[in-house]
Structures are given as C-alpha cells and as structure tokens.
Amino acid sequence: MFCGESILRDNPLFRVIYDGASYFLPCWLSYLVAGVVIMLILVNAVLLGAAAASWMERRLLGRFHNRIGPNRWGPFGTLQPIADLIKLLTKEDLIPAGADRIAFTLVPILMVSTMILMTAVIPFAKDTALADLNVGVLYFLAVSSLTAVALFMAGWSSDNRYALFGAARGVAVLISYEVPVVLSLLGVVMIAGSMSLGAIVHAQQVPFILVQPLAFFLFLAGMSAELNRTPFDVAEAESEIIGGYHTEYSGIKFALIQAAEFGGVLVVSALITTMFLGGWGGPFSEYLGWLWFLLKSILVVALFSWIRATYPRLRIDQIMGFCWKVMLPLSLINLTATTLEVFFLPENGTTMGEQWIMAGINLTLALVCVPLFGKLMREKARPGSSPAGARVVPGIPTIESS
C-alpha cells in the first residue's frame, strides 16, 4: 500500500490526522481513518454551505423582489433551510407507479455525490485542497458533466412527459455548453502552465478576470447553463414544464436535488474564485486566505442570484444558437489571442507586467467582440418586418378605425 505516499499528503490536516493515528494503528488503517475524517468534514461543510447558499439566495431574491424573504426561523431566518429540510424529510416519499425504481432512486444520490466530488480539488486556502490533482481542471469538468447522466436518468425513469421534456432539453444544453466552457478555461490553463488549481492560483499575479475577461464571461454563462439557472434554465423551466426533470420528485429526494443545485452554485462560485478572482489571494493570504476565498465566493453567489432575479428565460433554440454562434466563436477568439500572447511574450505571461499587458489587449478585444456579437445576434433574433400570419383566413377586410 501507499502508506504515506499519496496525493492526499499535500493536505496538512490529513498529515496531522494520519501521523496521529499511525502511533497506535497500522498505517493502512490510519490512512483510512484520516481519509474518512477529512471527507466527513468536507461533505458536511459542502452540504451546510449549500444550505447557507440557499438561505442567502432566498434573502437576496427577497430584496430584489421588494420583499423581506425568510426571516422567521432563527436570526435573520438563517435556520430556514433546516426547517425546510425537516419539512421535506417528513413528507411522503412518492415513486410514480410507472417509474423505473432503481434509476429513479439513484438520481438524487448521483447528483449530490457529483457535487461533493467536485469540491475535492478546490483549494479553499493555501494547501487545503483535499487533493491538489495535477489535472484538477480536467477532473472538475469531467465530474461536472456527469450531471447530464443524472438528468437524463431522472427524466427517463420518472415516467412523466414533462420530466422527459426537461431531460431532453437539459442534456442538449449540458452537452453543448461543455465545449465553450472547456475552451474558455483553456486560456487560463495556458497562462498558468498547469491544470492544478493550486498552481493556477499561484500563477495569478493579476486576477485572471482582468487577464481573461472574455473567458470569465463565457465561463459564467456556460456554468449558468450547466447549473440550470436563468436565463438558461430550460431544463427545469417551472412556468413551462413544471420543474422539468425533477417534476416527480418529492420528500428527501427532492431535498437532495435542491441541495445538489445550491451546492453546485457554491462549488462553481468557488471554481470561478479560484480560476478568475485570484483564489485565496489577498492581504495576509497566509493566514486570512480562507476569508478572502469565502468573501469572493459569496460575491459570485450573489452575482448568480442577481442574474436570476433579473432576466427572463431564453428559448431552447435560442440557447443552442447562443452557444454555437456566439460563445464558441468568442471562446476560439479568446483562445487564439491568449495563445499568441503566451507564445510571443518573453516570459510566457507569467510575470505581473506581462499579465497587465495581456489584460490590456484582452479587455480591448472583449470590448470589441461582445458588442459586435451582441449586435449580430440581435439582428437575427428580431425580424424588422411585420410577420405574416401562419393561417390567414382570406377575404375579410380589416377595420381601420371607428
């Protein structure tokens, strides 16, 4: 066995527990104990974080809506998620008669476990990632696309036509948005020269939101789509298909799906913080890194809530068009520009000065490209002339005026 030779050894907390346990336990057992302890901490932190994120979103949405939001249970309503959970736990756990019971039951588990798996590579502060994989970005993307499978399982096994609509839409959106999301992260990876999230944070002399503005917006939009959030929430469009793939879920299963959704927002916010906002970087980052990371993540969660409160939903064909006609070209432009910059700059974009130069070039590029593509899409989406009716009854004159 490895006995100490492991990727987990980079984590100081793991080392402490492992060393302590190995005084009186065989090394394979202390390895197991340390792993389980760390995982329990992480899983609970993520689930509590999801609860906190749901509370924050509901409070924020309340403010956006000119209302107060949940404020009855606990100070400022902070215990509201717990109350909701208890309510959902006591509800009857319904499985529709025609449902595929195994697949139906597996979906919430799959969704939550994917969400928790994603947190494994996120560095919450210096050297605190559970596993600072050298393919961290790739791992994150691979695990996050497992959601598509869960989504389709839910839609297919529910034996509900609305769920089927939601699943078909969701899978189409998820698969399409993988492409621009991956391409937009490629620029970041190229500058950092590594796929390890820790290395990416270290590489950010200037926060990458300035160095890679296009990539940031593409990633934000792509992740909104992957998280099923407005304006891309067609997979669970409540006003159209009654919640889409999770129409038939109730009780604890529904609670888990909701937890996976809010946890997903949290995890993606953490990833955006890591990739674009300088991660744990900030004043006294040796000691206060976790605080900066938390603050930045909360800011991104608030941004997601703000977007959700503002925009109506796009139609599925418009979303696909936006992906393939706007986001893909933009991500390719960003990739090309970044490649050239990294290639031609003497230090390959690793010093602060060079990153400021790249920031200047890329910001200009973004300011040119985004309005340009916006204009193209707008002209496509809004026909100027009066549309001809599909089924006109001939021969009846129009009444012009009274």
Q: Does 392 bind other proteins (CB under 8 A)?
A: yes
**Taken in order 311, 316, 318, 319, is the CA torsion positive or negative?**
positive
Q: Considering the complex, state which of residue 244 and residue 349 has its C-beta at the smaller distance from other proteins.
A: 244
Judged by beta carbon, residue 126 or residue 169, the one nearer other proteins is 169
Counting DSSP H helices and E strands in the chain, the numbers are: 16, 0
| Per CB under 8 A, 308 contacts other proteins | yes
CB 144 within 8 A of CB 114: yes
Who's near 67: CB < 8 A, 6+ residues apart? none
Stretch that binds other proteins, among 17-25, 111-119, 266-274, 314-322 (CB under 8 A): 314-322
**400 near other proteins, rule: CB under 8 A:** yes
How many of the chain's residues bind other proteins (CB under 8 A)? Answer: 50
CB closer to other proteins out of 185 and 235:
235
| Nearest approach, Cβ of residue 175 and other proteins (Å) | 17
Least separation in angstroms between residue 243's CB and other proteins is 9
Q: What's the burial of 388, exposed, middle or buried (CB within 10 Å: 0-12/13-18/19+)?
A: exposed
Among 33, 252, 309, 361, binds other proteins (CB under 8 A): 309
Under the binding rule (CB under 8 A), the answer on residue 261 touching other proteins is no
Which of 44, 235, 310, 369 is close enough to bind other proteins by CB under 8 A?
Answer: 310
Integer angstrom CA distances of residue 88 from 33, 110, 250, 259, 379: 32, 19, 8, 12, 46
Residue 192 or 225 with smaller CB distance to other proteins: 225
Q: Enumerate residues 191-250 that contact other proteins by CB under 8 A.
A: 230-231, 233-234, 237-242
Q: What torsion do the CA atoms of 47, 50, 55, 56 make, to the nearest 10 degrees?
A: 140
Q: What letter represents residue 288's amino acid?
A: L
Footprint on residues 135-174 left by other proteins (CB under 8 A)? 161-162, 165
DSSP 146-211: THHHHHHHHHHHTT-HHHHHHHHHHHHHHHHHHHHHHHHHHHHHHHHT-S-HHHHHHH-SS-HHHH
φ/ψ bin of 14: left (φ > 0), alpha (ψ from -120 to 50), beta (otherwise): alpha
- Fill in the per-residue mask, 316 to 355: x = in contact with other proteins (CB under 8 A), - = not in contact: xxx-------------------------------------
**Binding site residues, other proteins, CB under 8 A:** 61, 64-67, 161-162, 165, 230-231, 233-234, 237-242, 308-318, 378, 381-383, 386-402
